[in-house]
């Protein structure tokens, strides 16, 4: 059943691309036919010059033939320009159609365990195909079907020369096939090595501060050098294969042309053909073998474009399986976690097992537990970043998968542990790149996050450019702007993972006030915390340990249970320091 679904999805993806470009491909095929027919002009011209103009000594005949040939060459040039410009525009059209899709997939891939380099490869695939369409590769491929036209022309001049040209074309075709077979696996391995190298380079760039401060930049560069050497070795081997066969094809082509001239001269001496036919054969045979030789010379680009197209087709197949859900009314009642199990996408290791609880409008949940217990995994599941293996997460009884992703973002606010801000203005970050600026909602969100005064003190205020990753601000400022982004638009559920990690006392007060306001307006606040002071405004507490929900209930009951557990542990001879809230309660 799954294989049948995949086949149908692939068919839909292929059908979409075929429908988009079929008409243009047919037009290019026929315009290539016109170009190749007009390319016989040179052969006919040489034939007529040597066999008619020279033998008759007629200047008017020579002029008439020359004017006709110039006109035909101009027509060929016009059609060649049209084909070249059309191929470039097809590449641009392909880019416009698939670049947004590829980028959307690139945005999603890292949350499923792919490296940044692998994710960005989809965008580079679009660039690869666009560049290929503007090269000589497609020209050679569209000229290949017309090679028999030249062989037939040579055959009519003399069957022996036609057979010799056909044999040369056959050998060159075998070389092309052999090049494909020998280079395919090497090209795929080189591409994978390229991705590995880029992943290491990206990791080093993202951790540049650590490498510099802790003095192991040299070892990081050495690590990059190792994977780069692997990439270069594979790429060199692939290029050697293609280059070697390309050199053989050029040599064979020159040998064949010399052989045609020699055999033609012999046949002329024997009186079986004219001197003009020798030149005509040379020109036509050269044109017959040129597309094959050009295809071999551009085979590296052909292989790269084919692999890129395959990956993009798989991308379209994945997206063709997605259907846009029905627009549901905004949630306002409850959040239910129904026995979910969650695994890390990169490794497949189960990190959360059979977690279930329910929150109603106006409630606040504090999630506590040891590091590595599964708290952040729960957050990623609640926000839809990681899918659940089993179970369901429901807003007003509707599973998260029933909500349109863009619509769901209006109802769920999220503040991650590591706040990453986009390279843009403060307004663009807070409004999540909304096309319209709702000043009232923006200021309301920043005041709720306690960051409005800080923003207006900046030289450009809300229009301050943050730079890459928001590095123009301190960690605490980034966290408070991230909180304002999570609160923007008054989402029904606001999920905060370690929201006070970089906050000072004033920031924590603003955070507690924000939680209070979320609950007061009928929203649900979920806070993952290590520091107990942030739990002052929640009424429910969940304890996550070893990937399981070990306790859930009103804060007072869970706190009492945790205190008793600590007392029992102390009675066993172990000293445990109880974290206490500002009012003396345990977190």
Segments making up each domain of the chain, as ranges: 2-320, 334-571
Q: What is the mean pLDDT of residues 491-495?
A: 94
| pLDDT above 60 (res 569) | no
| Contact between residue 516 and residue 537 where contact means Cβ atoms under 8 Å apart | yes
Q: What is the mean pLDDT of residues 160-175?
A: 85
| Contact between residue 332 and residue 411 where contact means Cβ atoms under 8 Å apart | no
Highest mean pLDDT among 93-102, 149-158, 188-197: 149-158
Query: For 501-539, how does the pLDDT look when each residue is reduced to its tens digit (9 = 90+)?
Result: 777 777 788 888 899 999 999 999 999 987 666 788 899
The pTM for the full model equals: 0.70
pLDDT of residue 341: 93
| pLDDT above 70 (res 436) | yes
Q: In 383-487, which ranges are continuous DSSP H helix? A: 405-411, 426-430, 439-448, 452-456, 475-487
Closest CA relative to residue 330, chosen from 218, 455, 491: 491
| pLDDT above 60 (res 5) | no
CA dist 188 and 167 (Å) reads 32
Query: For 344-375, how does the pLDDT look when each residue is reduced to its tens digit (9 = 90+)?
Result: 887 788 899 999 999 999 999 999 888 888 89
Ranking 17-26, 195-204, 299-308 by mean pLDDT, the lowest is: 17-26
* φ, ψ at 234 (rounded to 5°): -65, -40
Distances (CA, A) of 203 to 120, 147, 190, 200, 299: 14, 50, 20, 5, 32
- Give the pLDDT band of residue 446 (cuts 50, 70, 90): very high
CA dist 417 and 499 (Å) reads 7
Class of domain 334-571: alpha beta
Ranking 103-107, 159-163, 228-232 by mean pLDDT, the lowest is: 103-107
pLDDT of residue 555: 86
Q: What is the mean pLDDT of residues 471-487?
A: 86
155 or 577, which is more confident?
A: 155
- Give the pLDDT band of residue 317 (cuts 50, 70, 90): low
pLDDT of residue 512: 87
| Contact between residue 341 and residue 386 where contact means Cβ atoms under 8 Å apart | no
- Buried b / exposed e across 476-511, counting CB within 10 Å, b at 16+? bbbbbbbbbbbbbbbbbbbbbbbbbbbbeeebbebb
pLDDT of residue 321: 59
Helix (H) or strand (E) holding 551: strand 548-554
- Give the pLDDT band of residue 275 (cuts 50, 70, 90): confident
Q: Which residue bears the tokens 């199990």?
A: 341
pLDDT of residue 41: 87
CA dist 24 and 237 (Å) reads 36
| pLDDT above 60 (res 335) | yes
- In the chain, % of residues over pLDDT 90: 18
Q: What is the DSSP string of 85-128?
A: HHHHHHHHHHHHHHHHHHHHHHHHGGGGT--HHHHHHHHHHHHH
pLDDT of residue 563: 66
Q: What is the mean pLDDT of residues 182-195?
A: 80
Q: What is the mean pLDDT of residues 141-169?
A: 88
3-state secondary structure of 335: strand
Distances (CA, A) of 220 to 131, 207, 225, 346: 33, 10, 9, 23
Class of domain 2-320: mainly alpha
3-state secondary structure of 527: strand
Closest CA relative to residue 38, chosen from 2, 78, 10: 78
- Give the pLDDT band of residue 576 (cuts 50, 70, 90): very low
Q: What is the mean pLDDT of residues 245-264?
A: 83
| Contact between residue 252 and residue 292 where contact means Cβ atoms under 8 Å apart | no
Average pLDDT value for the chain: 82
| pLDDT above 50 (res 419) | yes
| pLDDT above 60 (res 579) | no
Q: In 207-216, which ranges are continuous DSSP H helix? A: 208-213
- Name residue 392's beta-bridge partners: 338
CA dist 286 and 250 (Å) reads 11
Distances (CA, A) of 81 to 77, 286, 434, 536: 6, 21, 43, 73
pLDDT of residue 531: 67
Residue 255 neighbours by CB distance under 10 Å: 11
3-state secondary structure of 368: strand
Ranking 258-262, 525-529, 570-574, 582-586 by mean pLDDT, the lowest is: 582-586
| Contact between residue 175 and residue 252 where contact means Cβ atoms under 8 Å apart | yes
- Name residue 341's beta-bridge partners: 390
User: Where are the extended beta strands (E) located within 217-344?
Assistant: 334-343
3-state secondary structure of 58: coil
CA dist 141 and 305 (Å) reads 13
pLDDT of residue 246: 75
State in Å, rounded, how far the first CA of the chain is from the last one. 50
Closest CA relative to residue 322, chosen from 402, 262, 439, 431: 402
Q: What is the mean pLDDT of residues 231-247?
A: 82
Q: What is the mean pLDDT of residues 302-323?
A: 73
pLDDT of residue 366: 92
Ranking 436-445, 467-476, 541-550 by mean pLDDT, the lowest is: 467-476
| pLDDT above 80 (res 227) | yes
Q: What is the mean pLDDT of residues 149-163?
A: 88
pLDDT of residue 20: 61
- Buried b / exposed e across 330-367, counting CB within 10 Å, b at 16+? ebeebbbbeebbbbebeeeeebbbebebebebebbbbb
């Amino acid at each position: 059943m799954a294989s049948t679904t995949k086949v149908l999805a692939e068919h839909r993806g292929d059908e979409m691309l075929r429908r988009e470009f079929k008409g243009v491909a047919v037009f290019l095929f026929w315009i290539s036919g016109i170009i190749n027919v007009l390319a016989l002009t040179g052969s006919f011209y040489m034939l007529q010059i040597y066999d008619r103009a020279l033998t008759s000594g007629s200047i008017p005949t020579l002029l008439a033939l020359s004017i006709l040939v110039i006109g035909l060459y101009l027509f060929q040039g016009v059609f060649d320009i049209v084909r070249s410009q059309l191929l470039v525009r097809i590449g641009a059209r392909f880019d416009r159609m698939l670049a947004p899709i590829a980028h959307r997939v690139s945005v999603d891939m890292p949350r499923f365990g792919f490296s940044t380099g692998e994710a960005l490869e989809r965008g580079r695939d679009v660039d690869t195909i666009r560049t290929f369409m503007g090269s000589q590769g497609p020209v050679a491929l569209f000229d290949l079907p017309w090679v028999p036209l030249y062989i037939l022309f040579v055959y009519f001049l003399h069957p022996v020369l036609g057979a010799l040209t056909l044999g040369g074309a056959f050998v060159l075709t075998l070389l092309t096939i052999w090049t494909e077979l020998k280079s395919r696996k090497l090209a795929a391995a080189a591409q994978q090595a390229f991705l590995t190298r880029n992943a290491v380079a990206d990791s080093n760039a993202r951790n540049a501060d650590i490498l510099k401060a802790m003095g192991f930049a040299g070892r990081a560069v050495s690590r990059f050098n190792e994977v780069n050497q692997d990439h270069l070795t594979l790429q060199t081997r692939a290029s050697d294969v293609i280059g070697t066969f390309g050199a053989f094809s050029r040599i064979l082509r020159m040998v064949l042309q010399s052989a045609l001239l020699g055999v033609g001269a012999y046949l002329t001496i024997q009186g079986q053909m004219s001197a003009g036919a020798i030149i005509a054969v040379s020109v036509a045979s050269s044109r017959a073998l040129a597309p094959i030789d050009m295809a071999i010379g551009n085979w590296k680009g052909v292989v790269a474009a084919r692999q890129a197209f395959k990956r993009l087709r798989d991308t379209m197949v994945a997206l063709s399986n997605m259907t846009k859900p029905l627009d549901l009314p905004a949630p306002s009642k409850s959040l239910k976690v129904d026995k979910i199990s969650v695994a890390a996408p990169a490794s497949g290791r189960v990190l959360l097992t059979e977690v279930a609880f329910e929150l109603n409008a106006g409630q606040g949940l504090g999630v506590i537990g040891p590091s590595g217990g599964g708290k952040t995994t729960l957050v990623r599941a609640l926000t839809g970043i990681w899918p659940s293996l089993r179970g369901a997460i429901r807003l007003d009884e509707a599973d998260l998968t029933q909500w349109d992703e863009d619509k769901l973002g209006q109802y769920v606010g999220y503040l991650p542990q590591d706040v990453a801000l986009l390279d843009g203005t403060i307004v663009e970050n807070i409004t999540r790149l909304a096309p319209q600026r709702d000043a009232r909602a923006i200021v309301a969100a920043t005041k709720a996050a306690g960051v409005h005064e800080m923003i207006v003190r900046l030289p450009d205020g809300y229009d301050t450019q943050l730079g890459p990753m928001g590095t123009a601000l301190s960690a605490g400022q980034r966290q408070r702007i991230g909180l304002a982004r999570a609160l923007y638009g008054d989402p029904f559920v606001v999920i905060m993972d370690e929201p006070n990690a970089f906050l000072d006392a004033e920031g924590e007060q603003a955070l507690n006030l924000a939680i209070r306001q979320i609950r007061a307006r009928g929203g649900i606040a979920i806070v993952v915390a290590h520091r107990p002071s942030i739990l002052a405004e929640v009424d429910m507490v969940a304890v996550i340990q070893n990937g399981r929900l070990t306790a859930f209930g009103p804060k007072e009951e869970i706190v009492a249970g945790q205190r008793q557990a600590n007392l029992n542990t102390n009675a066993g001879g172990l000293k445990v320091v109880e974290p206490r809230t500002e009012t003396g309660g345990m977190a």
